[in-house]
């Protein structure tokens, strides 16, 4: 599919990822980009920088109301299905979170089928693997959700359902669909809802208040941090490709310890504070392992995507943005 001259809808368009996908689409010459959001989690301020672009249209709407999807998808070429509850808000409000992540995605696919939309790019998560075994963790790895906390397990299950919808509507109705499994997404316009990414902004805020940043346990817990601009680029490349019915890891392929992350934050901010090691606590977590190895071989082979922004550069961009907001 050609991005230039195309018409696209982004559900959850006023979100961290949605706003960056919009940036990529505009940069590549899309004719119209419709940002659909109910503003329950996202805010218009997130996409305020696009307000003067005549090609971008911000529409208040809800994926739980299928009639609104029917209206907004008329004449649309592709949909980026980003709207959804993350682990933390889903844990806090399971009835609404499950409705949005399951019924809402069914509505998106049904409306796409009805309106003849060519392709859907669905935002999934590496949470579908649960606690992975020895790596590298490729897309055909088995699911191991048993060690997850209940909220994290529910979230992962909703993403598995979304991926199954991708395959079903591809096979049965000819709606092109690709699922992208993100690792820990962070970057400019960062919010306070991502379980693992939240750790970044919380510690940055502590450092700015002159408080010692915290490190859980011995700091050996690892995550795969992927910058939101790389995630957005993967979305647009998936839409432009001829690939359908597949799932791809969108990951850096680098396991970074939380100790190293805090060290980078201290270095970038020029702080002399010493990290404080604390017990894990009772917060909502999606992973606490000290071993992680996600493979990005499949997406490199089929889409030609690979990350361009390393963790230190990405943190510098995030911090520069936060300082500009102050």
Task: Tell me the pLDDT tens digit for each residue of 303-314.
Answer: 999 999 999 999
Give the DSSP H/E element, type plus range, for residue 72. helix 66-72
Long-range contacts of 316-321 (CB under 8 A, 24+ apart): 316/268, 317/187, 317/188, 317/227, 318/186, 318/187, 318/188, 318/190, 318/200, 318/201, 318/204, 319/204, 319/265, 319/268, 319/269, 321/188, 321/189, 321/190
- Spell out the domain ranges in the chain: 7-187+225-251+293-309
Copy the structure tokens of residue 78.
Answer: 């592709």
Distance of CA 273 to the CA centre of its chain: 31
| Contact assessment for residue 228 and residue 250, using Cβ atoms and an 8 Å cutoff | no
pLDDT at position 40? 85
Task: Tell me the pLDDT tens digit for each residue of 251-276.
Answer: 999 999 999 999 999 999 999 999 99
pLDDT at position 282? 43
pLDDT at position 325? 79
- Can you spell out the DSSP letters for 193-248? --TTTHHHHHHHHHHHTTPPPEEETTS--EE-EEEHHHHHHHHHHHHHSS--SEEE
Closest CA to 38 of 69, 15, 61, 11: 61
Residues of the chain where predicted confidence (pLDDT) is lower than 50? 281-285
Global confidence as pTM: 0.94
Could you give the C-alpha distances from 24 to 21, 107, 212, in angstroms and in order?
5, 26, 37
7-187+225-251+293-309: CATH number: 3.40.50.720
pLDDT at position 114? 97
């Amino acid at each position: 599919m050609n991005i230039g001259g195309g018409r696209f809808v982004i559900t959850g368009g006023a979100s961290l990822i949605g706003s960056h996908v919009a940036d990529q689409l505009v940069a590549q010459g899309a004719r119209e980009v419709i940002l659909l959001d109910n503003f329950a989690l996202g805010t218009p301020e997130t996409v305020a920088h696009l307000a003067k672009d005549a090609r971008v249209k911000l529409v208040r709407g809800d994926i739980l109301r299928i009639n609104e999807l029917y209206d907004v998808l008329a004449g649309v070429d592709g949909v980026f299905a980003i709207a959804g509850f993350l682990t933390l808000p889903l844990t806090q409000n399971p009835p609404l979170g499950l409705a949005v992540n399951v019924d809402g995605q069914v509505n998106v696919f049904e409306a796409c089928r009805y309106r003849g939309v060519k392709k859907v790019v669905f935002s999934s998560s590496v949470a579908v693997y649960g606690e992975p075994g020895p790596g590298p963790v490729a897309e055909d790895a088995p699911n191991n959700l048993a060690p997850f906390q209940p909220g994290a397990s529910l979230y992962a299950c909703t993403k598995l359902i979304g991926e199954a919808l991708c395959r079903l509507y591809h096979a049965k109705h000819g709606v092109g669909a690709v699922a992208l499994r993100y690792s820990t997404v962070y970057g400019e316009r960062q919010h306070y809802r991502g379980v693992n990414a939240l750790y970044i902004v919380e510690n940055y805020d502590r450092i700015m208040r002159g408080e010692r940043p915290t490190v859980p346990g011995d700091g050996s817990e690892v995550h795969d941090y992927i910058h939101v601009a790389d995630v957005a680029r993967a979305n647009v490349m998936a839409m432009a490709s001829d690939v359908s019915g597949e799932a791809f890891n969108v990951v850096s392929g680098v396991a970074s310890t939380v100790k190293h992350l805090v060290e980078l934050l201290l270095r970038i901010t020029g702080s002399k504070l010493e990290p404080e090691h604390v017990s894990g606590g009772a917060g909502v977590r999606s992973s606490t392992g000290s071993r992680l190895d996600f493979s990005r071989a499949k997406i490199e082979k089929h889409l030609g995507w690979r990350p361009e922004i390393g963790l230190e550069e990405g943190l510098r961009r995030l911090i520069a943005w936060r300082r500009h907001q102050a």
